[in-house]
Structure 1
């Protein structure tokens, strides 16, 4: 790190030993127990004084992070540090690290409030969150007269896109499909034209070219506007790299050529993307796109693991919940797939479980959002199914890892997985139960489909629409149910096939399985006894589409060998060994190859060391980038504060016990009082769950005493009028110098298991109780050492010249 401010107080030894599970909820207003009255035209406690756009996002100060890209974007500012933070924000924008980019641009504005481009940067970091982007660029527009002519061009392009030249109250966040209408397509095309004008006006400046290339890709992705010439975009990128070979726009070249047919054109950028911005996780992730397209899954796994480690290091260092970073879950779910592809099953399983275990939050991470808990469960099921871990599936049946879920598709998928495991473990009655459960799900979806159609019909008739319009409305309302029923039907047909096989109805069973969603290599093995030719064809077709993937090709070698095609089996096996260094040989698919390996004269451990090709770029040691998995961090500091009677109460009161700590903003804060009142009725439930509660207010002891005299709360309320503890726990807006609301769950080891720091108090207390119980049921302490759980570990890696090298995970 360079130029980083001194860290907050390190956790003292007493704190590490004594802290119990604490949830801290913070609020920032003086305490008075009279019914609070909100002053007109005064922001609510914890809200920004600059407007709603500034409420969300990072509100703690930025520091200069090493490895955010070699970029420079000149701005008008008399503050040298403002320029440095602006350059950092630009690099973070190029790496899609939007959360931290916004923090960097907020730091620019804190140094120089008149810097119009600081607000432009905040808007760019929220480009597809229209209300916030509008609020930021509207603020930038107010400072337009302080900007240079060049800066005004940048500002005006964004002001035009968001219609921010005037005050508006009608700005809403759009759904992705809404951006494909004619209005927003026209705006997107105009924005590109404005960027093209910047390229023409400043031909020696690489930044307009970089933003133009990316916007053309974004227009295709979000607005459905095709890229007219990828070669023209590539030519712009050539100009950027001619001027600066280390520019993070390697990210954009990867997006440009990210297909099987064209991926070779981005090999250099795949090698350079991570090293161009080694402090940004997504830059490492992007290289994995190209390696995967080229069937180089070992290289893909290496890149994705680098991404995960950088993400985890940042989150644990800066105390950011994982899913606050919008692409974190995507980065990690891709890594689980890459690990599965190279046969590193234990690592894939461990990471998928870690994703399920991560702290959840109603805004960012729930089983129904595209977030860690959902992706982790999905990837875990896929990995356990594919690698035939039937006992493990049933062991996890009633745990958080295979929880029921709320959507019909997820519930049916879970039942199908359990049914498959029961078939392989000869539990026919259990298989029948899972099939019945799926039937119940189908019945429920059909009833819901009929109800949705009826309601749409009634609404359309009431609106006096035409017969055709009524039919269209009914069809549209029922379409999602029909789509889900089709998917659920494939789960059902697979279990019907397994049930037929268990009854020795081979013909019917295999016919059902052929049409169901069964993993094709598994299907191939089931056909072996009755039709070796068909089994061989299915296995070959599966492997043909999965060049370099462990399971499909190991399965093909086994089926070739079983079908008597020994020479083909030997060739397939020897090719398989070329990427076998991380195979977990205790998996059934690899165990089945033992006779073939023995016939070929290989040892029981027949894996070979991998070779690192010379075109993958500079690779730092993975351990230097960060940990393989996320884990909770120790509290930043302990505290001892007075209560309403002046009695000192310390965090050590909850020695060895979980505690919920709530920071609130005083009794003049209406929503703070509402939070305390919501917490009071469930305090006993928290206590029964083994979780204590302590609250910390921004009030004086006298204010607390007066406010609780007639109606005491069932938990301690402590005073921190100087906001010392608020600041130590980062429940503080460093930019606007005010306290925030905060909630923390700290376990008996002094590890922060969950947190919420916001402009609003956390009000979902029943949800929070359930989340506390879920998190506290997990093992405490740091995660297992990287590679723990591996059977024998991988073979060492060799460099491209054949020399041995330290294993690179």
Structure 2
């Protein structure tokens, strides 16, 4: 099932697509004539995308072109590529602006499995699309009208249980139209978590019997079994990526399953491929990480899998690149994806204590709760580097902060008294007791934390998508037993932890050591061989494997997995593109200055460029933005940054208008060719858009924002340049 973290990520992404405010006046410059619902989302024309899978959704239309784009949008929706689905549907709307099913498709881009039942403001535009579909539903064939009415009943009538409503409506549609594969595919998706996974699987398999490579059916099967009985989904994992190789999510989801069953090499191949496919798309389409909802999730999950393969350097570098990626200034960092956690997880897991404590590797936490978790990692690092007094002092500060948060001091809402502490805080408390010689007290804390974790895992409420924690706590319990010489208890605890995280190298190493200590070198050799198979590509010198090699067990690599798996070799995936985000090359700029001479980005190589696309000197908001930038021109100049302001105004007009007195350089883009190249033009309504783009001294795009209103947070631009 989809975790709360992933659902939050999508909600944040939908929020990112709502940069423009809701406006009633569609005639404002840069705003849609169709209303505020059309002011957000991608606004350049779609293109035929390969490798999405075959999932036609026939609708009433007079245009074969509309049907083709609609089919593409439906395939994109099956692959959870919502923003691109909306782009294809916007083109359908341009061709047939009164088509009810086009409006229905647009509504599905936001009112979907992730968000059904949510009431966030970011969903209003999708409800507006649905309202327009409802207005136009009369006269449609019954099948199409039933689709619209299913979403109408679930999303527009204040239902308390909208998922149950939509499941009921899709069931009725599937019964009335048994040959409608799409109705069954949607039913199979929305039915996840409601009723029997086995019964739902039978429904999805009935689709695959007719259409063996249906992307939506394979995708839904993976979610259906994820966290329930993950091995049941392996067949669909093997086929989903083949059915839709051009969609990163089709490669991402198999990685979920493979990681749950301990097939870490196959998981890495899947997740690395997903990351590369999406990054190639992002670079080709000028999309930044925060504009692509699955990017952070992909990269975090890949970091986690690389950790489990002992590829410490790759996982840590990936986590650092995730932090370095540009963010969305419209979102509160505390509400967004906690991009620091992958780095924290890796540093703790690989015992990089000095880096945790150096004051520069980990940035300051962006909220008090995260701060307590980071502080707890520092407590552990201080203890491991023999700085117990400092560790205790920091722990006291964390505990005082926790008391304040539970009381709701400082204007913050009080935390529920029964809320379990994050595992890492409890682990830090346990290590302090153990460092004081109170082994039983430390074990008591660890056992309680492990029990809470077990309950959370069994109830599917444990954040395991991927986990924030560096370890299953039961593995730490086992370590304490082993350190105390109680190897029987250690083995029992390691086995429990190994069920929670199959083929975990640290557990395998612990089992090999404990069985050796008990004199059973045969069993020890088996676990050592299992470890060697998992860590066949691990960085040299890591403690788990060096400890096991020192046992001289003469073990040979012996994988223990549900299916044979390929060895993960990142070099074999290079044809898909990079796996870590880097700034992409800026498109060509070919404009004309006020002197009539050509202006190119190459003219400013060696300088940073703030490129602003504005509508004209008659646009009040444009002038406000340029004036705000001009007021800080000295700061931009001090940061080696030149400002280029581009519009369709002629060089002659630029020479004579009031903006010519500003310190920025006015350039002309008469035919909007530059605006189109920089995705600052609305192809659906043939109009210019506001764009603010930061380009570094090497000619690479570092940050951008496009929409119906200009970007006004000028200090953010300066801060972003300062990060380079």
1:264 maps to 231
**Cα distance between partner residues in 2 of 1:607 and 1:546:** 19
Deviation string, structure 1 residues 167-219 (Cα, Å, up to 9, x no partner): xxxxxxxxxxxxxxxx42355444333322322332222111111222223xx
**Cα distance between partner residues in 2 of 1:510 and 1:265:** 36
1:53/1:133 contact within 8 Å kept: yes
Which secondary structure state, in structure 2, belongs to the residue aligned with residue 359 of structure 1?
A: coil
Structure 1 residues 269 and 615, CA gap change in structure 2 (3 angstroms): farther
State the Cα distance separating 1:369 from its structure 2 match.
3.4
Deviation string, structure 1 residues 451-480 (Cα, Å, up to 9, x no partner): 66xxxxxxxxxxxxxxxxxxxxxxxx5344
1:493/1:515 contact within 8 Å kept: no
Structure 1 residues 638 and 422, CA gap change in structure 2 (3 angstroms): same
2:176 maps to 201
2:280 maps to 313
Q: Is 2:667 aligned against 1:714? A: no
Question: CA RMSD, aligned part only?
Answer: 3.4
Structure 1 residues 323 and 483, CA gap change in structure 2 (3 angstroms): farther
1:123 maps to 107
Q: Map 1:63-74; keep pairs closer than 5 Å.
A: 63-74=47-58
Structure 1 residues 479 and 580, CA gap change in structure 2 (3 angstroms): closer
Q: Map 1:188-227; keep pairs closer than 5 Å.
A: 188-217=163-192, 220=193, 227=194
State the Cα distance separating 1:66 from its structure 2 match.
0.7
State the Cα distance separating 1:415 from its structure 2 match.
1.2
Structure 1 residues 753 and 720, CA gap change in structure 2 (3 angstroms): same
Structure 1 residues 557 and 600, CA gap change in structure 2 (3 angstroms): closer
Structure 1 residues 700 and 441, CA gap change in structure 2 (3 angstroms): farther
Which secondary structure state, in structure 1, belongs to the residue aligned with residue 628 of structure 2?
A: helix
1:657/1:748 contact within 8 Å kept: yes
State the Cα distance separating 1:153 from its structure 2 match.
3.0
**Cα distance between partner residues in 1 of 2:173 and 2:149:** 11
State the Cα distance separating 1:586 from its structure 2 match.
2.2
Of 383, 386, 390 in structure 2, the residue corresponding to residue 426 of structure 1 is 386
2:39/2:708 contact within 8 Å kept: yes
State the Cα distance separating 1:745 from its structure 2 match.
1.2
Deviation string, structure 1 residues 322-347 (Cα, Å, up to 9, x no partner): 23232332233222222222333222
1:274 maps to 241
2:463 maps to none
**Cα distance between partner residues in 2 of 1:650 and 1:577:** 55
State the Cα distance separating 1:354 from its structure 2 match.
1.9
Which secondary structure state, in structure 1, belongs to the residue aligned with residue 56 of structure 2?
A: coil
2:329 maps to 362
1:543/1:556 contact within 8 Å kept: no
2:628 maps to 678
Q: Is 2:421 aligned against 1:487? A: yes
User: Comparing 247-256 with 759-768, which one deviates more in the overlay?
Assistant: 759-768
Structure 1 residues 734 and 297, CA gap change in structure 2 (3 angstroms): same
Deviation string, structure 1 residues 460-519 (Cα, Å, up to 9, x no partner): xxxxxxxxxxxxxxxxx5344x467x527x756644554566566767666666667985
Aligned pair count reads: 669
Q: Is 2:91 aligned against 1:96? A: no
Q: Is 2:213 aligned against 1:235? A: no
**Cα distance between partner residues in 1 of 2:656 and 2:397:** 57
Deviation string, structure 1 residues 236-295 (Cα, Å, up to 9, x no partner): 2222112110101111112222234x3333232122111111111112222233333333
2:5 maps to none
1:51/1:135 contact within 8 Å kept: no
Of 58, 75, 79 in structure 1, the residue corresponding to residue 59 of structure 2 is 75
Q: Is 2:358 aligned against 1:383? A: no
Which secondary structure state, in structure 2, belongs to the residue aligned with residue 570 of structure 1?
A: helix
1:316/1:630 contact within 8 Å kept: no
Structure 1 residues 254 and 535, CA gap change in structure 2 (3 angstroms): closer
**Cα distance between partner residues in 1 of 2:432 and 2:534:** 37
Of 641, 646, 651 in structure 1, the residue corresponding to residue 592 of structure 2 is 641
Of 499, 503, 511 in structure 2, the residue corresponding to residue 548 of structure 1 is 503
State the Cα distance separating 1:447 from its structure 2 match.
5.8
2:430/2:445 contact within 8 Å kept: yes
1:580 maps to 535
Q: Is 2:91 aligned against 1:138? A: no
**Cα distance between partner residues in 2 of 1:269 and 1:504:** 51
Which secondary structure state, in structure 2, belongs to the residue aligned with residue 744 of structure 1?
A: strand
2:524 maps to 569
State the Cα distance separating 1:740 from its structure 2 match.
0.7
**Cα distance between partner residues in 2 of 1:633 and 1:54:** 28
Structure 1 residues 89 and 615, CA gap change in structure 2 (3 angstroms): farther
State the Cα distance separating 1:76 from its structure 2 match.
2.6
1:699/1:720 contact within 8 Å kept: yes
Structure 2, gaps ≥5 residues long = 1-18, 116-121, 451-470
Structure with bigger gyration radius: 1
**Cα distance between partner residues in 1 of 2:103 and 2:475:** 54
State the Cα distance separating 1:589 from its structure 2 match.
1.8
User: Comparing 208-217 with 688-697, which one deviates more in the overlay?
Assistant: 688-697
1:252 maps to 220
1:43 maps to 27
1:335 maps to 302
Q: Is 2:630 aligned against 1:668? A: no
**Cα distance between partner residues in 1 of 2:267 and 2:24:** 56
**Cα distance between partner residues in 2 of 1:197 and 1:40:** 37
State the Cα distance separating 1:141 from its structure 2 match.
4.1
TM-score, normalising length: structure 1: 0.75
1:404/1:410 contact within 8 Å kept: no
TM-score, normalising length: structure 2: 0.84
Of 473, 478, 486 in structure 2, the residue corresponding to residue 532 of structure 1 is 486
Deviation string, structure 1 residues 670-702 (Cα, Å, up to 9, x no partner): 222222232233332233233332222333344
Structure 1 residues 510 and 126, CA gap change in structure 2 (3 angstroms): closer
Deviation string, structure 1 residues 736-759 (Cα, Å, up to 9, x no partner): 111111111111111111111122
2:10 maps to none
**Cα distance between partner residues in 2 of 1:444 and 1:538:** 35
State the Cα distance separating 1:595 from its structure 2 match.
1.3
**Cα distance between partner residues in 1 of 2:544 and 2:403:** 37
Deviation string, structure 1 residues 351-385 (Cα, Å, up to 9, x no partner): 22221121111246x642343xx1x3212211221
1:551/1:589 contact within 8 Å kept: yes
Deviation string, structure 1 residues 694-722 (Cα, Å, up to 9, x no partner): 2223333444444427x932322323343
State the Cα distance separating 1:303 from its structure 2 match.
2.0
1:295 maps to 262
**Cα distance between partner residues in 2 of 1:544 and 1:729:** 50
**Cα distance between partner residues in 1 of 2:190 and 2:439:** 55
1:740 maps to 689
Identify which of structures 1 and 2 has the higher relative contact order when contacts are C-alpha pairs closer than 8 Å and 6+ apart. 1
